[in-house]
Every structure is written in structure tokens, then in C-alpha cells.
Amino acid sequence: MPFELISGSQAVAIAVQRVGVDLVAAYPITPQTAIVETLASIDAKGELGGEFVSVESEYAALAFCKGAAAAGARVFTATSSHGLAYMHEMIHWCSGARLPIVMVNVNRAIGAPWCLDPDQGDSLSQRDTGWLQIYCSSAQEVFDTVLQAFALSEELLLPSMVIYDGFYISHTYEAVDVPEKQIVRRFIGPPVFPAQVKPGSLGNLHGLTTSETQLGLIRRRHEDMLRAPALFDQINDRFAQIFGRRYKVIDSVIPPGSKTVILTVGATAETVRWCLPKLKDIGLIQLRMFRPFPAERLGSLLKAHEVERVVVIDRNCSVGMGGIFAQELRAAIYGMTNPPAVDDLILAGGVDLTVKMLENMLDSRSAESRVGQKWGTDLQ
Amino acid sequence: MKIDELNRESEMIYSGHNACPGCGAALAVRYLTRALGTNLAVVLTASCWSIIAGMPPFTALKCPVLHCPFPSAGSVGSGLKRGLNAKGLQDTTVIVLAGDGGTFDIGLQSLSGAAQRNEDYIFVCYDNEAYMNTGMQSSSATPYGALTNTAPYPLFKEGQKKDIMQIMAAHGIPYAATATVAFPEDMEEKLKKAKEISGFRFIHILSPCPPGWGTESSDTIHLSRLAVATGFFPLYEVRNGVNWKMTVPTDEKRIPLNDYLSGQRRFKKMDEPRRQILQKEIDRDWESLMKRVNNSK
């Protein structure tokens, strides 16, 4: 298969071209811009296969997607940081309206003050909006996940957010297997999900309703989203047959006898993976799917390996509470027999993980019974 | 027009909708949809019409209605039209229906973006001159000197009503027009013209609101007529942003604005100096409009 040296963001644009979308709504923001620019250059060559529309804001981009997806069109948009925050109301609406929109978010810190580094607070601020969230750790994974996100969303009728770190993945060039369009077509064909707006028929779509009806709709959305991990596995079975590689909801490298594991997402997981041979008896859990939260699978994995300590690396911070992945993990293991201790290394602001920082974090436990929260800059 | 001349077959609004008696917005939608045929899809942003349309699975309109959040109407309309095109449904006319809040205020950015791209749909603003669905709070379409619940006596609404038609004309869109329910033939003709044009079309309808304005439900048509006769709401159209044309002639000697204001509770406590300020504003806008109309001849 053809390998190309491309950035994570170029990988997104090519994946979108390979899937074949009816419409792209584009608005630039650092560090997402390369996605819309690459899509524009694909369009300029007449190879997009759909319409590329430059709109007036991120809010407009997602509102545009809502209208188009309601007509049954396959749509894509991408954003980052403030752009995602600006979309917030529409993010809720697109999920409530059950529209299978795929959006990429490139993690970047939210102000004030201005900061461009890959804090995850932008996407994690949207965790309760009813979108699937998948965090990627390489350009190849980004390419593949965009293809898979369309398949997931169109089956579940729920929108998906494909997420990766700004700069570390968006701007880093890697060798990516970029299959031709006809091969991708074997994995995902033209959209077949139902149109909501059907001219010639009646339909009062998403109009005012009662709390009881709303409860029923939220419950159905919740239950449908919980189908995502099993569906993700099925989709990857099919994906592996065509492309020869597959992904898991939770990826893990836990050497026998390791009682401590590091749990993280995205590019940070790649850093830890690289460090593992240097670290003694330490395992890695890379959480790929964050919404729905794979609590059962995570619990089983920790139990099976009799993990005693989980060090979570959170490139985010819910101010007043702490790292969000650590909080989600604590909630997931509550009530478990012999639950592992959870320590949290906070790299909010998008601070890069260094080997020294990681070693200090792992060592810090010997002095204290429980570490709790540590700030990355204290461990350098 | 006689009542039995109405073509009820092509009416797109059901009886039993949730509008208040005498609602200008309900009448406006009745007239405008009648002019557009039955192959319609309506985008509805937060406004009185969010309620008038009814609670699903019930509906007040005989076509698909897609509700959307307050600031998003212009963008959702753009996406819907292009999405329908992508699905091979180019013949469907898309109407975006918004109140003055969803047009003049919170919806202005998405409206401007869609107009600038010359998106192929009809944006209809039914202007009842305040946030009426939430109980009459000031918008930038509220006239100077009116009382609202965010400008209660003795505060009065400050600042002039935003001139949305000049803003839309400045986008160079192919068609923009004003209309009122007092002149249904004029409105129907404008919608028919709009339907024949592709690209962005903007219709601004003055929409009397009996509970908000403090008027009798039977006054809606009369008030709409007075709004035209005083020059408060002239009826005209603009092609390509430059070609301005009156469609219902208003006597150069317009009747005094007080004749329009006096029947409305929202202007009841307006003092004489304020009335003169508003009259001057209307006179100035009228002269400016006449210049544009005369320059277009």
C-alpha cells in the first residue's frame, strides 16, 4: 500500500477525501488550519467529490453541518480550542438531533491567556454533550479513526469527535499508509443514513417537547452510545480484513508482574510507550475511546492484572477538582474490590511529558502513601 | 382580494396553530407560503414561531420544519439547502423563518455570512419589534421611545431601530423586500418574484403583536396599513443591492406618525419630545429611501 510522509492534519483531510463527503464546512484556527487548507487544495484540484464551503465562524460551521446532515448529507468539519468552545450550543444540538456528523478537534489550550499548546480542556469541556470522543496518538491512527468515525456515527446516529494533540500530531510528519479511494470504498460506501427533512412530507423536527419525552430521548441516546465499544470492535474486524491493522477501545501494554500502570491518551501515550523499555515493571493503558467511557472494560483490565497503582497523565485540569481522566477513572473503579490507588500527573496548559518528569512521578510514591495530584512543572 | 379567491389548497398552514389571536406572524406565514408552492422546507429559529409550529408529533405547517438554536438560522438554512441539493432535491424551496431577535441581533452573523455567500434560499424576518416569545424585551428592532419589559417606564427604548434593509442591501443580494399583512397581494407578488430568483433573498415583514404592542387583535391589519401610510414601514424592494423601487405608493405627504403610535400601549406614555425625535428619524429615513429610489430610476 502507498505510504506518504504527511502530518496528522493532512492525514485528516485525505481521509475525508477518501471517505467521500457531500459537504465540508471550514473555518480556520491554529493548530487545526492545515486540515481546512489541505481540504481546500484537494477541492482546488477537483478531487474532493463534495462541496467545500468557507463559513463565517466555527458556530456557523457546525450549524451548517446540522442543516446538511438533516437532509441526509455526509458532512465534515474540524476545529480546535476556542472554536470548539464557540460551537458549544450546536454541539449539544447535533447530538440531540441524532445527526451522524464527524468533527475533528485538535487539542489546544483555551484562554485566558492565549496559549497554543495541546491542553485537552477544549474537548473534555464537551464530554457531556452526547458526542463520541476518540483520542488518537499518531497520524496513521488519525487517518484510520476518521474512516472509522463515519462508520460508527452513521450506524449509531450519533456525532463523533476525533481528537488529537495540537503540534505533536497535527504538525508532525509521519509515514502514513494512505489507501486509495476505491479501497476505502470497500470499508465505507456512500451514506445511507435516513434524511430527517423529507420534502413533500410533514415533520416538526426537534420542536418543543415535554420533560418526559426529553428523558426518553436522552435515555435512548445514552443506551445507543453504550453500544459504541462493541460496534467499534466489529468495525475494526472489518477494517482489519481490508487494511491489515486494527485498534482497540483501550490499548494496553502490561508486562507480567507490573503492579503500576500509566493511563493516558493521545500523543502522551506514545511518549510513555517509548519510555516503557527504560521503566521497570511499569505498564501502559492508552484510553482511545473516552465517550462512551469504557468503565467495565477498564475495570476488568485492572482486575485481570491486579494493578495496585494507576498513574494518570492528564494534560488538562478541571479547576477545583483536578485531572479529568483521573476523575473518570476513580468513578469507574468505585466499589471495585481492592481498587488501585489513583495518582494524577497534571500537565494542564499542554505541558510536554519528559522522561525525568515521568520517572519522578513514578518514584514519588516511595516517600508518601498516596501521591494524589502532582503538577508536571514541580517534577522537572 | 376576496376571501373566496384564496387558493386554500396551496395554503401551508393548518388551523389550530398556537399563535395568539391577531398575530401578524401567523398571517404573514400563511400569505408567504401560499405564494411559494408546496415543495417547501422551513428552518425555524427560536422565536414565537417555535411555539406556533406546535409540539411534535403535531405540526402547524404542511411541510418539513427544522428547528434550530437562536443564532444559527442563516447557517442551518445554508447547510439544509446544500444538503438537499447533494441529495438531488434541488427543487425544494428552503425558507428560513426568524423573528427580529434572530435576524437583527443574535442571528445577524449567520444571516450576513449566508447573504455574503449568496446562499440559495429565502430568509424571512417577521419583525414584531421585540423579544415577544419571552414576554417583550427590547431588541435592536424595537423603535425608539417604545416601552418594553427591559425598558420599562420611565426608561423608554434608547437608540434607533436598526436599518436591516440597508444592511442586507449592502450585501448586494439579488432580492430584498419589505412586506406587511395589510397588503397581501404585494407580499404574494414579492414572494413569487423571490421564488423565480436564485441566490439569497431577504423578506422583511412588519408583524404586529397584539399582546406585546398592547393593541386589539382586530387592529393588526389597520396598524400595518398605518405603518405604511406614515412612512414608518414603507413597502419596497431592492434588486442586487442597488435598484430600489417602491411597490406600494405612499403619499409624499405621509400622515403623521402619531396616528400610528397612538393606538399602541407601548407608545402610550411616550412624551412629546420623544415623539418628535421619532418623527424626525422617520422623516430622515424616508428622504434617504426616496433618494435611493429616485437614483434607481
Map out the domains of chain A with their CATH numbers.
3-242 (3.40.50.970), 250-378 (3.40.50.920)
Of A57, A68, A210, the CB nearest to B80: A68
Tell me if ipTM is over 0.90. Answer: yes
Distance CA A128, CA A234 (A): 25
Contact A100, A157 (CB under 8 A): yes
Please write the tens of the pLDDT for every residue from A73-127: 999 999 999 999 999 999 999 999 999 999 999 999 999 999 999 999 999 999 9
B11 Cβ partners below 8 Å, 6+ apart?
A: B30, B33, B34, B62
Kindly report the number of other CB atoms within 10 A of residue A243's CB atom.
19
Contacts of B44 in chain A (CB under 8 A): 207
The mean predicted confidence, pLDDT, of chain B is: 95
Separation in Å, CA A117 to CA A10, A101, A102, A164, A315? 19, 26, 23, 12, 10
Main-chain phi, psi angles of A358, to 5 degrees: -65, -45
Identify the CA nearest to A265 among candidates A318, A223, A328, A322: A328
Cis peptide before B234 (omega within 30 of 0): no
Burial class (CB in 10 A: 0-12, 13-18, 19+), A41: middle
- What's the pLDDT score for residue A371? 60
% of chain B residues with pLDDT over 90: 92
- What's the pLDDT score for residue A61? 98
CB proximity A211 to B under 8 Å: no
* Contact across the interface for A63 and B69, Cβ inside 8 Å: yes
| Chain A nearest-CA residue for B57 | A204
CB proximity B21 to A under 8 Å: no
Which residues on adjacent β-strands are paired with residue A6?
A: A174
Which residues on adjacent β-strands are paired with residue B206?
A: B127, B180
CB proximity A190 to B under 8 Å: no
Distance CA A163, CA A64 (A): 21
Distance CA A315, CA B204 (A): 50
Give the strand pairing for B236-239 and B201-206. Answer: unpaired
Residues B258, B261, B263, B267, Cα dihedral to 10°: -130
Contact A308, A254 (CB under 8 A): no
Length of chain B: 297
- What's the pLDDT score for residue B209? 98
Give the strand pairing for A132-135 and A289-291. Answer: antiparallel
Separation in Å, CA B43 to CA A77, A201, B94, B187, B281? 21, 15, 7, 20, 34
Q: What is the 3-state secondary structure (H, E, C) of B224-242?
A: HHHHHHCCCCCCEEEECCC
| A8 DSSP 8-state letter | H
User: Containing H/E element for A176?
Assistant: strand A173-177
Per-residue confidence at B29, pLDDT binned at 50, 70, 90? very high
Distance CA B293, CA B297 (A): 7
| Chain A nearest-CA residue for B109 | A56
Contact A284, A219 (CB under 8 A): no
Q: Amino acid letter at A53?
A: V
Contacts of A48 in chain B (CB under 8 A): none
Contact A225, A292 (CB under 8 A): yes
Distance CA A115, CA B294 (A): 54
- Alpha carbons within 13 angstroms on the beta-carbon side of residue B217 total 8
| Chain B nearest-CA residue for A89 | B69
- Is the confidence at residue B97, as pLDDT, over 70? yes
Main-chain phi, psi angles of A66, to 5 degrees: -60, -45
Contacts of A100 in chain B (CB under 8 A): none
Please write the tens of the pLDDT for every residue from A34-43: 999 999 999 9
* Contact across the interface for A55 and B113, Cβ inside 8 Å: yes
Which residues on adjacent β-strands are paired with residue B175?
A: B201, B239
- Is the confidence at residue B152, as pLDDT, over 80? yes
Q: Amino acid letter at A305?
A: H
- Is the confidence at residue B296, as pLDDT, over 70? yes
Name the CA radius of gyration of chain A, rounded: 21
Domains annotated for chain B, with CATH where assigned, are 3-296 (3.40.50.970)
Of A75, A199, A207, the CB nearest to B39: A199
Kindly report the number of other CB atoms within 10 A of residue A221's CB atom.
17
Counting one residue from A and one from B, how many pairs have CB atoms under 8 Å apart? 170
| Chain A nearest-CA residue for B48 | A208
* Contact across the interface for B53 and A207, Cβ inside 8 Å: yes
| Chain B nearest-CA residue for A194 | B87
Separation in Å, CA A373 to CA A162, A184, A320, B67, B256? 28, 44, 12, 45, 73
- Residue ranges of chain A with pLDDT lower than 50? 367-369
Distance CA B284, CA B280 (A): 6
* Contact across the interface for B72 and A66, Cβ inside 8 Å: yes
Mean pLDDT for the stretch of residues B73-79: 98
Identify the CA nearest to A132 among candidates A91, A170, A166, A168: A91
Of B40, B72, B82, the CB nearest to A63: B72
Helix (H, G, I), strand (E, B) or coil at A205: strand
CB proximity A73 to B under 8 Å: yes
Main-chain phi, psi angles of A253, to 5 degrees: -130, 100
- What's the pLDDT score for residue A23? 98
Looking at per-residue pLDDT, the higher value among A4 and B253 belongs to A4
Cis peptide before B208 (omega within 30 of 0): no
- What's the pLDDT score for residue A367? 44
Mean pLDDT for the stretch of residues B8-13: 77
Looking at per-residue pLDDT, the higher value among A206 and B12 belongs to A206
Distance CA B291, CA B296 (A): 8
- What's the pLDDT score for residue B67? 98
Mean pLDDT for the stretch of residues B12-20: 92
A213 Cβ partners below 8 Å, 6+ apart?
A: none
* Contact across the interface for B87 and A73, Cβ inside 8 Å: yes
Q: Which of B49, B62, B84, B133 best probes binding to A when mutated, by most A CB atoms within 10 angstroms?
A: B84
Main-chain phi, psi angles of A240, to 5 degrees: -65, -35
